[in-house]
Structure formats: structure tokens, C-alpha cells
Structure 1
């Protein structure tokens, strides 16, 4: 009996229509949260309260289905996304009105929108790729900081007399260089220093080459590489879950044997 219920719930969990329904409820939850930021009529407020109860109950129902249908329940809460979903659902059960944790409950309801990531596999792969790429990105960020520091020190020594507001000290110089890297009116800064130091053009061009082009491509390359590894891992896991040809042949033989036994 339990195994039958578990198989049915597992089939429901993996059903595309059910997944679309869950995504639709998450979108409705996002719209309901956004609606509460406006001045609403009493009838609209009542409607949002009803929707809030429905969404919370639905998420609890969906989480229960995933837990019962999971083959390894002991490891259910060892997965990060399951822990996140469980915390969001549990805290969403806290009554908003007349509660000391009302503010926390309201804030957690905002994070229900993030459940879209845990529901859609493609979004999970994107986030997992970014998280796994962080250690490698850390070295790129460190190298970028070194380049920023060197150029900021040089700019502070050379250009502080031209415009102290932009080059007064190394901290302000780094902020100015960040503006240059993002191309936010950087030509105004460049032309101002070129009036005194015409060759300062080399300073800006080399800095932009290192930061905006070289390091940006490094970051993109790392993220794309990790994302490809995540896609390969997801495909391998999907293949492992599918029955092999030998298993299918064995099952067909068993069915054939049962049918022959019944005919006798």
C-alpha cells in the first residue's frame, strides 16, 4: 500500500503538468507579494489573505509529496534546495497578524519567489554553476584587486592635483577606476587628465584592457566551463536513473515466463 502511494506521488512529482502548476503558483505568489506594496481596498486585502493561505497550504502539500516520493528520505534534508524549501514553507506557516515574528514572516514570504529556482531544473543548474565557480572566481577577483590597487596608487600620485575629488587618495581613486571600468562617463575623466598629461591615455586604455576585457572574459570562461560540467553531471544522473537495456530485457523475460505459466 505504502509503496503504491509512494510510486504514485513520485510520478506526480515528476509530472510536467504538476511542475507547471507549481511554477504558476509561485508566479501567483510573486504577484500577490507585489500587490501588497500598493494601497488596496478591503476586498482586495481579503483576496490577498485568501491567496496567501492557499499558496502556503499548496507549498506544504507539494513539499509533502516530494518528501514521501523521495527514495532516500534520510538524505532529503541533506540537499541544500530541500532545506531552503522546507525553511520557507515552515516559516510561512507563522501567522502574520498579532505575532512578534510578523516581520520575519513577511520577509520570508518574499523569498517564496526563489522557489522557482528549486522547482525548475535549468535554474538549479545555473545557480549551482555559479556557486561552484566562486572559488575559481575568487582568484580572478584577487588579481583584479591587485590591478585596481596598482592603478589607483599611480592615479592618486599623478592626478590628485588635477581633481582631488576623483584622485584624492587611493580609496577614491579605486572608486573612480571602477567608474572607468564600467564606462560611466569615463571619457570626461580621461580628457580632464589629458589636458595636463597627454599620455595618460595609455593609463586608461591599458586599465580598460585588463579589467573590462581580459578579466571579464576570464569570468565568463570560468562560469561557462563549470556550467558545462553541471550539464554533463545532470545528463549522467538522468541516464543512471533510466533503466538499462539489460534490465528491460530481464523484465520482459520475467513477464513472458509469467504469461506462459498462466497459459499452462
Structure 2
């Protein structure tokens, strides 16, 4: 029974069904943000939401029964369980804010769609490599913020009045948001301030941030290479199994050939040699 249920859960048709339920539930949760939609279809939206939650609960129970303790060894299963558990929490009284967390069910697409799983896995694998880049970026931001505060706190106090303000301003500039406006305001009294800001933008935007992209791309390539190796190993295992079956069939055929040679036809062979025709030939 468990084997059949496990096979049914792993079929593409079942996965497509779960994806459809997640998408429909996400749409209904989005419609609940519209007062007009709630006024017209509030009951229907609630019914669809409860049905989707029931499907998710049944799916998790079926997986727990089919996989047993192996269910809890898969991080994606734990991720799905956490999201569904949040949806089951009471939303009355002081916990009414948890009602908004139902939209987290949309994140289940990450665990259901293989391509999204690969992307998230690659991002998580890239976290150790990103740590050094984050430290480098933090160091650059801190040094630049101290310099900006000392140089321009009187010229532009709303941008560089103190260290926290300078940190936020430089982070904003690093994202490319209104950096030219900030620079031009400072340059009205410090014409050579563009040197500081251009160097900062070159280092942070075009160097450090691109390092993040390089680390993520490298992690995704490694993840793709590992998947290729696993696919090759699985294909090799299948080929070896088929080869073993072919060898067994050939061995069985070889065993049948001597048995056929020792059958009735082989046993009648000597009798025909001692028959009348043989004796006449011997008389001649």
C-alpha cells in the first residue's frame, strides 16, 4: 500500500495538481485584498481557501504515511510542513495578524517546481562564499561613511549629518537611487566631491556587487554539474541492471541448449543407428 501511494505521489500528474492548487490559492489570497472582490465573492474565496488548505494537509499526511521517517529527512518536506502549520494556527484575537501569513503558501511552489528548487539550493550553497563579500562590502561602506561624515556633514546634513545617516545615504547610492542628486547637492560647495562619489560607486556597484553575481553563478554551475553526475550515475545503474538481466537471459538460454540436445531426439539417435537399415549396410 505504501509503495503504491509513494508512486502516486511522485507522478507528474499529482505534482501538476498540487501546483494548480497553489496557484489558485495564491490568486484567491490576492483577491482578498480587494474590498470589491470580498464584497461580491467573499464566501467563495473563503471556501476555496479552506479547500486548498485541506488539500495541503491531506498531501502532507499522505507523504508522512508513504515515506515514514524519511519524510522528515527531506528539508523541503519540513519547509512545506512549516508553511502549512502556520496556516493552521488560530487567527482570532491577538493572533489575527497570522492570517496574513497564509500567503506563505505560495512559497510552496519552490519545493514543488524542480527548477525553483535548483535555484534556491544554489543560492543556499553560495551563502558561505557570500560571507566574505558581505564583510568586504561592509568595510567599504563603513570607511566611506566615516569619510563622508567628516567631509560633508556641514554641506549636506540630511545626507551626511552623522554616521548612521551617512551609512544609509551611501547604501542608497549603491543601489543607484538618486545618487546623482545627492552628488550634485554636495558639489555645489565641493566641486571635487565627484571623485569621492565616483570611486565609491565604481567599487561598490561595479565591483563588489558583481562579485555576488559571480558567486551565485558559480554555485549554480556546481549544482548543475552535481545533478548531471547524479543523472549519469542513475543512468549507469539502469544500464548495469539491464545488462545483468541480459546476462541472466543468455545464461538461461545456454542452460536450455544442452537440455534440448539430451532430449528425445538425442536419445533416439543411437537406436536409429542399430535399426534395419544399419544392419543391411553392415551386411554389405
TM-score range relative to shorter protein: 0.7 to 0.9
Matches within 5 A, 1:1-264: 2=1, 5-6=2-3, 8-39=4-35, 40=37, 44-70=41-67, 73-93=68-88, 103=96, 106-242=99-235, 243-254=237-248, 257=252
1:108 to partner: Cα distance: 4.3
1:254 to partner: Cα distance: 4.8
Residue by residue over 1:21-41, the C-alpha shift from the partner in whole angstroms, topping out at 9 and shown as x without a partner, is 111110011012112222346
Three-state SS of the structure 2 residue aligned to 1:31 is: helix
Q: TM-score, with normalisation over the residues of structure 1?
A: 0.83
Higher helix proportion: 2
Measure, in 1, the Cα distance between the counterparts of 2:151 and 2:127. Answer: 35
Greater relative contact order structure (CA < 8 Å, 6+ sep):
1
Please, what is the CA RMSD of the aligned residues?
A: 2.8
Structure 2's unaligned 5+ residue stretches are 261-284
Change (3 A) 1:145 1:215: same
Structure 1's unaligned 5+ residue stretches are none
Q: Rg larger in 1 or in 2?
A: 2
Measure, in 1, the Cα distance between the counterparts of 2:72 and 2:234. Answer: 21
- Structure 1 window deviating more from structure 2 (116-125 vs 59-68): it is 59-68
Q: TM-score, with normalisation over the residues of structure 2?
A: 0.78
1:129 to partner: Cα distance: 1.7
1:216 to partner: Cα distance: 1.1
Measure, in 1, the Cα distance between the counterparts of 2:38 and 2:152. Answer: 58
Aligned residues: 253
Q: After the TM superposition, which segments of 4 or more aligned residues of structure 1 sit over 6 Å from their partners? A: none
